[in-house]
């Protein structure tokens, strides 16, 4: 029997960590308060893209700030009370938009994305669901020449990291995606990138694979984590439900912040909330790959259920009720670009992107807490980077030198 580990959280990050630690011979129990893949990992846009090396806090953010602070764009909303209570996080986030940190972050995220893509391909094949993966990349759409010029910083970053791209004129775009209305003057096709048609189903299939290989899945609504002589105990909503193991991995996505407070860790994490809605097919040809309308502030992804529209950022508390007016606005912009059919869901889905001030996840052991491991803070790119996260965590938990992964060390904020 290998060493016992509890992985807390069965989103894509926790599930990938559980599979990797199991592959390394550990005796893993995966714990969640619901079935795997019901939260953030269910509702995202399903894009696995090399272009995701661009964090939201890049040096161009300063120029955009006056417009974003007006709080009326489709791309970015905030609740003033939340921002006022989290000014420290906001200042820290902005401070890390400076060029030196940005370069470091882009390089770190690029390495994580590169590590993850082949791992996803392996896991998809092992889970028997390779058909869910498209290798057709995704397309950034620009409504004006000025918007295209405004993307110069991103394009330079892609070139620096050898992200394969192709600039498209309107005729080339129409050939690739005839479903789009001719309102875009420019487009950038991000190649060498992937998407899936149901990220929640992928997460659940990975969890099934973990169980088929002998892993244990437990239902527990964790209320606290505490250290005891033998290691770590996860307390649940009733005393008999507690679980203990020498090693514990916290992979609770946005809920990591509140649960880690019970161990005395105050994570500087903010919630970049986002919404989704599915639409039936409209008249005319279908969209064949995800597109990001940079002016419209939404992503449209073809999914098994229909066309999924996902919104930009709403900076707000994790648990306050949904405010789907951002989705309504994104929908009206999307209808300018595509003949969308009727709404398919009774209400908008709400998710939370868990974001640390440098837009990098934490992967590794918590300082001064031996046996407590963190895999969290994956902001906009957790679906794509979960398998790379798992690989790094597996190496670190097997005693590897952490120097190559310093960019992700938890000690930078704890």
Ligand X SMILES: Cc1cc2nc3c(=O)[nH]c(=O)nc-3n(C[C@H](O)[C@H](O)[C@H](O)COP(=O)(O)OP(=O)(O)OC[C@H]3O[C@@H](n4cnc5c(N)ncnc54)[C@H](O)[C@@H]3O)c2cc1C
Binding site for ligand X (CB under 6 A): 9-14, 32-34, 38-41, 44-47, 220-222, 251-255, 259, 274, 276, 310, 351, 353, 376, 378, 380-384
C-beta closer to ligand X: residue 112 or 187: 112
C-beta closer to ligand X: residue 165 or 355: 355
Query: Minimum distance from CB of 412 to ligand X (Å)?
Result: 18
C-beta closer to ligand X: residue 372 or 376: 376
Query: Minimum distance from CB of 23 to ligand X (Å)?
Result: 18
C-beta closer to ligand X: residue 45 or 338: 45
C-beta closer to ligand X: residue 252 or 340: 252
Q: What dihedral angle (degrees, nearest 10) is formed by the CA atoms of 148, 378, 38, 124? A: 80
Q: What dihedral angle (degrees, nearest 10) is formed by the CA atoms of 133, 170, 68, 80? A: -50
Q: How far is CA 278 from CA 38, 284, 333, in A?
A: 16, 17, 15
End-to-end CA distance of the chain, in Å?
33
Match 């690989």 to its residue by tokens.
Answer: 391
Query: Minimum distance from CB of 279 to ligand X (Å)?
Result: 15
Task: Give the neighbor-by-neighbor strand order of the sheet with 4-8.
Answer: 216-219, 27-32, 4-8, 247-250, 372-376, 362-365
Q: How far apart are CA 401 and CA 55, in angstroms?
A: 26
Query: Minimum distance from CB of 44 to ligand X (Å)?
Result: 3
C-beta closer to ligand X: residue 271 or 405: 271
| Closest to 14 measured CA to CA, from 4, 24, 29, 27 | 29
Query: Minimum distance from CB of 379 to ligand X (Å)?
Result: 6
Q: How far apart are CA 122 and CA 307, in angstroms?
A: 27
Q: How far apart are CA 75 and CA 190, in angstroms?
A: 20
C-beta closer to ligand X: residue 173 or 375: 375
- The DSSP result for 284-343, as a single string, is SPPP-S-EEETTTTEEEEEETTEEEEEE-EEE--SSSPP-THHHHHHHHHHHHHS-EEEE
Query: Minimum distance from CB of 261 to ligand X (Å)?
Result: 12
Q: Which uninterrupted H or E stretch holds 241? A: none
The alpha carbon of residue 344 and the mean position of all alpha carbons in its chain are separated, in whole angstroms, by 24
C-beta closer to ligand X: residue 84 or 304: 304
Query: Minimum distance from CB of 5 to ligand X (Å)?
Result: 16
Q: How far is CA 181 from CA 90, 166, 191, in A?
A: 37, 20, 22
Query: Minimum distance from CB of 97 to ligand X (Å)?
Result: 20
Query: Minimum distance from CB of 257 to ligand X (Å)?
Result: 10
C-beta closer to ligand X: residue 9 or 231: 9
């Amino acid at each position: 029997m290998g060493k016992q580990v509890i992985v807390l959280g069965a989103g894509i990050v926790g599930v990938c960590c559980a599979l990797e630690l199991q592959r390394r011979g550990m005796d893993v129990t995966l714990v969640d308060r619901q079935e795997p893949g019901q939260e953030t990992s269910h509702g995202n846009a399903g894009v696995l893209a090399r272009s995701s090396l661009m964090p939201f806090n890049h040096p161009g953010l300063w120029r955009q700030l006056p417009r974003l602070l007006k709080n009326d764009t489709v791309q970015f909303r905030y609740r003033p009370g939340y921002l006022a209570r989290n000014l420290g996080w906001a200042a820290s986030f902005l401070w890390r938009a400076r060029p030196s940190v940005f370069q470091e972050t882009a390089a770190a995220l690029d390495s994580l994305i590169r590590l993850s893509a082949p791992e996803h391909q392996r896991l998809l094949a092992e889970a028997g669901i390779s058909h869910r993966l498209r290798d057709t990349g995704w397309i950034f759409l620009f409504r004006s020449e000025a918007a295209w010029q405004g993307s110069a910083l991103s394009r330079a970053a892609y070139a620096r990291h050898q992200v394969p791209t192709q600039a498209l004129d309107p005729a080339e775009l129409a050939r690739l995606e005839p479903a789009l209305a001719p309102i875009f003057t420019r487009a950038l096709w991000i190649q060498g990138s992937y998407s899936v048609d149901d990220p929640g189903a992928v997460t659940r299939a990975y969890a099934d694979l973990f169980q088929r290989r002998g892993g244990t899945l437990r239902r527990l609504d964790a209320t606290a984590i505490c250290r005891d002589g033998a290691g770590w105990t996860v307390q649940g909503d009733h005393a008999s439900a507690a679980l203990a193991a020498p090693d514990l991995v916290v992979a609770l996505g946005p809920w990591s912040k509140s649960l880690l407070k019970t161990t005395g860790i105050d994570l500087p994490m903010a919630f970049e909330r986002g919404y989704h809605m599915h639409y039936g097919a409209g008249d005319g040809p279908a969209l064949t790959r995800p597109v990001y309308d940079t002016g419209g502030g939404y992503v449209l992804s073809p999914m098994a259920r229909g066309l999924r529209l996902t919104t930009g950022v709403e900076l707000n508390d994790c648990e306050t009720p949904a405010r789907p007016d951002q989705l309504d606005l994104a929908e009206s912009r999307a209808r300018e670009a595509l003949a969308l059919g009727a709404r398919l869901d009774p209400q908008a889905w709400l998710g939370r992107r868990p974001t640390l001030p440098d837009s990098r996840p934490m992967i590794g052991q918590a300082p001064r807490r031996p046996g407590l491991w963190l895999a969290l803070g994956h902001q906009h790119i957790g679906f794509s980077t979960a398998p790379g996260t798992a690989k790094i965590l597996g190496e670190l938990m097997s005693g590897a030198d952490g120097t190559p992964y310093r960019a992700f060390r938890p000690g930078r904020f704890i």
